[in-house]
Amino acid sequence: MNDFVFGPGIVLVALFVAAGYTIYTFIKASHLERMAKIEKGIDTNAPSNNSRYLELKLGMLMVGIAFGLLLAYLLEKALKIDEVVFYPSFMLLFGGISLIASFFWAKKLQKNK
């Protein structure tokens, strides 16, 4: 007898429900923020400080992830180990290091202005 109650369909449905709720919450929060700005008389079309240096952050993140993938591949081939644990761990490690480096770089650029 099959004791597995939840099939792959229920997992897929749960994934779509969670994604939909996340999108709904994001839209609702941005609407509430916009309404609060209108009430206070702040220009809603002005760019926020959160998007400053976004290109720098994303670029360094992609470089960090790529470097992590490359280093994991080289380490796997050099040690002749067929483990896939290197790939996600090195991607996260070097992606995080690159985000920390982009933070300090953006801070330095702001100080120079």
Give the tens place of pLDDT for each residue, 42-90: 887 776 665 678 888 899 999 999 999 999 889 888 888 777 788 888 9
Burial (CB count <10 Å: 0-12, 13-18, 19+), residue 37? middle
- Residue 57: which residues within 8 A CB-CB, separation 6 or more? 99, 102, 103, 106
Segment 6-29, tens digit of pLDDT: 677 788 889 999 999 999 999 999
Would you state the structure tokens that stand for residue 47, as one six-digit string? 């760019």
Q: Please state whether the predicted TM-score (pTM) of the whole model is above 0.85.
A: no
Rounded to 5 degrees, what are φ and ψ at 96? -65, -40
Q: Domain spans of the chain?
A: 1-46, 49-112
Alpha-carbon dihedral of residues 85, 55, 37, 43, nearest 10 degrees?
Answer: -170
Alpha-carbon dihedral of residues 9, 12, 17, 18, nearest 10 degrees?
Answer: 140
DSSP 4: -
